[in-house]
Amino acid sequence: MVPLRPAIAFVFSCSLLGIGCAGPTQERRMYPEPSNTVQQELGYRDVVRIGQEYAVSSGYEVTEVAEAVQVRPNYWRIRFGLAPRGSGRLLDIEFDQAQRQVVGATEVGGAAGRVTPGP
């Protein structure tokens, strides 16, 4: 025959363990690194610099970097404001960072890039 005290302790321990495992658990999620890591910042600067060099060598007068967005890994869209400042003219450059080359460029006029409110 099994002694009563150790058997009760065993059943009690198992029931506490079962209750602890049966309850809901918090889901642990892996959060991505912040977007301002050193590697990404250097990539951003290189992309903007190469895009600006491309625009100038293509005869555009760049006044500002309006936007530089990494669309997908190693693929960027850089938008430059063109002279004269305030004209609304933009140059969109698509850049492949892995191959380190411009894969497309489109000039956008002032009204085409703006959204006008409806009546």
Amino acid sitting at position 66: A
Longest Cα–Cα distance of the chain, Å, equals 97
What local confidence, expressed as pLDDT, does residue 43 receive? 80
71 CB-near residues (< 8 Å, 6+ apart): 77
What local confidence, expressed as pLDDT, does residue 93 receive? 94
What local confidence, expressed as pLDDT, does residue 112 receive? 46
Q: 46: which 2 tokens?
A: 């290189």
Query: Are 87 and 95 in contact, with CB atoms under 8 Å apart?
Result: no
What local confidence, expressed as pLDDT, does residue 56 receive? 94
Rounded distance between C-alpha atoms, residue 19 and residue 2, angstroms = 25
Please state the pTM of the whole predicted model. Answer: 0.56
- pLDDT per 10-residue tile (average), the chain, 119 residues: 70 67 59 53 83 93 90 91 88 91 88 36
